[in-house]
Each structure stands twice: as structure tokens, then as C-alpha cells.
Amino acid sequence: MTTQTDANPGTAPAAAVPIAKVSIIVSKGSLEGIYPALILANGARAEGIEVNLFFTFFGMDAVHRKRMDHVKVATVGNPGLHIPTLLGGLPGMSALATHFMSKKMEELDIPPIPEFIEMIGDTGAGMYACRASVDMFGLERDDFVPQIADIITVGDFYAMAAGGQIIFT
């Protein structure tokens, strides 16, 4: 079981307290923005930790019926790719990087986003879309996969996350 400890320097470490609940905010709509959240959620569920995923802004692409199969690697201004921004902006670079990353994930048996969302949903994790983002982008409930339990406000999210850890990806 994953635990948390007192991280205050200069104090005696507190007894490890098991993490019982984690709420993950998914705000980016790129492969490298969505996968960390899904991997964290899946790992937490495997440890028996309660999980809620809150999809906001472009992170909603992970659970949008028409967009989830078309998420790409962001190549412009992505320092992790170790390529100049100018090269990242060339036509086809995002498609090439996405193809390469998808092949590597497939080799590691990491499922594509739609399958991963379904798997995590099957574990009992809660998945929610952000009301403000849904309204801002003119979306409706039918735009999302069935694993989205509800469209909620930030206040609802905080109430749901109370007593647990919050991770922003």
C-alpha cells in the first residue's frame, strides 16, 4: 500500500499513513499530458486506492468520443523531446512523434487511450468532466464516453477530493 509521511525537515518522521484517496486533474490534451494521469490512476486502483479523475480544458480530449482516438504528442515547445521548437513545428513532426510513442507504448503493453479509459472505469474509478470547460467549449454529455459519471463544478470536485491527495497533470 502506498503511504505518505511527514515531509517537514527537522522533525521526526511521522508514522506512515496509507493513502486512501487520490483525485487527479487532467488538463492537457496531448499523449504526454494524458498518459501520466491514466497510469497514476490505474496504479492507484491496483493498490486499492480510491481514484477520481477530473478532466478539464484540453484534457477532456481523453474522454471525448470523437477526439480520444486522435490525441497526439505535442512537438512544439516540448523540452522533453530534445528537438528545437522550429523542428517541432515542421509538418508531420507531431504525427511522426505520435507514431513513435504509440509503437513504444504498444511494445510495453500500455493500452491506447480508449481502452485505458475503459479499463480504469471498470476498476471503479470515478471520472468527471469540468462544468466550466464543458460550457466554454460548447460540449454536452453525449460528447463524452460512458465512463464519465457526471459533469461537475470545481466546488463539487473539491468536495469529492476532500481528505485525499490531489495530483495535477
Domains of the chain: 22-40+49-168 (3.40.1260.10)
pLDDT of residue 88: 81
Location of C-alpha cell 510495453: 108
pLDDT of residue 2: 56
- Spatial CB neighbours of 95, under 8 Å, sequence gap ≥ 6: 72
Tell me how far apart the alpha carbons of residues 104 and 56 are, in angstroms, rounded to a whole number: 27
Low-confidence ranges of the chain (pLDDT < 70): 1-12
pLDDT of residue 7: 57
